[in-house]
């Protein structure tokens, strides 16, 4: 039996939103395997979804640059929120977004090597580190190019979205971009959902059913499970979600009404996939003031 440490229980609790005792039991039942324990919790109706992706801790900014049908977004990380609000850092991030757009860079290495003034973007980040005294990382780039309509939306510099439409209007494209920023759908449409995702959800929904429900005829049971999975698909696909601009309609209906189809969607949120060590607040302030 693997050792069930307090740290392991804490990690599962943060991912699932479930109480400590249930998390410990799930880990014991699954020999300390956190992925299997997460699935066990879901099968037992204790956890609705994995919250690991929501643990956004790193600081920084997402900046967007748009020119006609071309758009580019970049994420530049800083160690603290103090530095993320620094005017030099804000300008640097905006300049990097413009370089991403103008250079045509498609990946982070090409962007870092691109020219920013008399230096490269990577050299500019290092120079900023020397000036402000904090490490900066030009971490991600996302681009969109379309002959159709391009919509861009920035939520306080923390989330950036680019949406390309075939048909429709700039107003609709921006509305869809705002929706994506708010709801962060996993997929655009049902056809994009991987088969293993569907099978996993069917398995989980079936496991949550009572023996009495499972005893129903196979065709009825299949309809019940399919209904539950279809609801999950609507929650996880962009076109199936209620449109944030008008919750009485779905995104699919809004697109149809606007005579538009989605061509491409890009979304960046500061710190996705990064876990930051949470420092003592007083120590962080002293560090920023040069007293520590």
Domains of the chain, each with CATH number or no CATH = 6-54 (1.10.8.10), 59-160+265-288 (3.30.479.20), 190-264 (no CATH)
pLDDT at 276: 54
pLDDT at 91: 97
pLDDT at 1: 66
pLDDT at 206: 79
Write b or e for each residue in 199-220: b if 16 or more Cβ atoms lie within 10 A of its Cβ, otherwise e.
eebbebbbeebeeeeeeeeeee
**pLDDT mean values, one per 10 residues, the chain (292 residues):** 84 81 91 90 76 57 96 94 92 98 96 95 90 88 96 96 97 96 92 86 82 81 80 89 94 97 96 63 50 50
pLDDT at 53: 44
pLDDT at 57: 34
Q: Smallest Cα–Cα separation from 138: which of 126, 156, 154, 155?
A: 126
> Model pTM greater than 0.85?
no
pLDDT at 281: 45
CA distances from 196 to 150, 177, 200 (A): 32, 28, 6
Whole-angstrom Cα distance, residue 43 to residue 229?
14
């Amino acid at each position: 039996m693997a050792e069930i440490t307090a740290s392991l229980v804490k990690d599962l609790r943060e991912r699932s939103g479930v109480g400590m005792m249930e998390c410990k039991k799930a880990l014991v039942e699954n020999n300390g395997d956190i992925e299997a324990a997460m699935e066990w919790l879901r099968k037992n109706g204790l956890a609705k979804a994995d919250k690991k992706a929501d643990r956004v801790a790193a600081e920084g900014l997402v900046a967007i640059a748009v020119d006609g049908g071309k758009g580019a977004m970049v994420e530049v990380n800083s160690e603290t929120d103090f530095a993320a609000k620094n005017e030099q850092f804000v300008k640097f991030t905006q300049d990097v977004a413009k370089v991403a757009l103008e250079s045509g860079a498609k990946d982070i290495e090409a962007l870092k090597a691109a020219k920013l003034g008399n230096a490269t973007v990577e050299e500019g980040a290092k120079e900023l580190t020397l000036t402000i005294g904090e490490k900066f990382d030009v971490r991600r780039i996302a681009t969109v190019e379309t002959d159709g309509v391009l919509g861009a939306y920035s939520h306080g510099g923390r989330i950036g979205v680019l949406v390309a439409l075939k048909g429709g209007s700039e107003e609709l494209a921006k509305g869809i971009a705002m929706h994506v920023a708010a709801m962060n759908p996993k997929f655009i449409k049902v056809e994009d959902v991987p088969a293993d995702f569907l099978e996993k959800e069917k398995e989980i929904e079936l496991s949550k059913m009572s023996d009495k429900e499972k005893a129903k005829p196979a065709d009825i049971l299949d309809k019940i499970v399919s209904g539950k999975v279809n609801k999950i698909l609507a929650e996880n696909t962009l076109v199936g979600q209620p449109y944030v601009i008008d919750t009485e309609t779905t995104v699919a209906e809004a697109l149809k009404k606007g005579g538009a189809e989605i061509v491409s969607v890009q979304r960046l949120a500061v710190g996705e996939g990064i876990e930051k060590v949470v420092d003592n607040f007083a120590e962080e302030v002293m560090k920023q003031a040069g007293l520590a």
